[in-house]
Structure 1
C-alpha cells in the first residue's frame, strides 16, 4: 500500500460521526490536491476491508455521488442516523457538516 493510500484511509477513518468531507478535501489533506478520483478508487476498493465510514464522503457540492439509487438511499439513511440532514435535493450543507481535519495530516 502506498503512503498516499495509507494517508487517505487514515483521514477517512478520522471523520467524526455527524460530519462529512469531500473527495477533494480528503485528497488535499493527504497531499494530492488533484487526487479526488484516487480517493474514489480507494473508497471503492478498500471500504469493506478497512471498515471505512464511506457514507461520510460526498462530492464538492455536498451531493451524494453514488448513482445506484439503493446505495444512495443507504448513504442518506446512514448520515441521517448520525444527525446529518440532506436537503430535498439530496445535498448536504457543507458549511454546517464539513469536517476540517486541520493540519494534522499534512
Structure 2
C-alpha cells in the first residue's frame, strides 16, 4: 500500500509541470528523492483521479512515449503546443521541463 503523503508528494510535483512541457516518470522520481521509483510514479498517476485534478497528461516515459491505451494524452499535449517526432514520441530535447 502506498502512503498518502507519498502520493501527494508525487502529485504536487506533477502539478508544477508547466503547460507546454513534459516530465518523465524517472524525472519525477528523482525530484522526490526516490531515483529508482519511476514505476511507483506511474502507479500513483494511474490513481490520480481519486485525489483531484492533476495534469498527468504531461508525464511521459524517458523516450517521450505516451501512456499505452490513453489516446487522449497526445491530443491534450498537442493542444498545449507540445510537438511529437515522426516516431510518435514527444521531442524531449525541446519540451522536457527543466525542474
Shorter-chain TM-score above 0.5? yes
Between the two proteins, the alignment pairs up a number of residues equal to 97
Report the aligned-residue RMSD: 1.4
Unaligned runs of 5+ in 1: 102-106
Unaligned runs of 5+ in 2: none
Give the CA deviation at 1:47. 3.4
Q: Which residue pairs with 1:55 in the alignment?
A: 57
> Structure 1 6/48 Cα, relative in aligned 2: closer, same or farther at 3 Å?
closer
Give the CA deviation at 1:52. 1.1
Give the CA deviation at 1:50. 2.0
- Confirm or deny that 1:67 pairs with 2:68: yes
Matched ranges for 1:1-106 at <5 A: 1-47=3-49, 49-64=51-66, 66-68=67-69, 71-72=70-71, 74-101=72-99
Three-state SS of the structure 2 residue aligned to 1:50 is: coil
- The separation in 1 between residues aligned to 2:49 and 2:23, in whole angstroms, is 15
1:47 touches 1:53 (CA, 8 Å); kept in 2? Answer: no
With normalisation by structure 2, the TM-score equals: 0.89
1:13 touches 1:53 (CA, 8 Å); kept in 2? Answer: yes
With normalisation by structure 1, the TM-score equals: 0.84
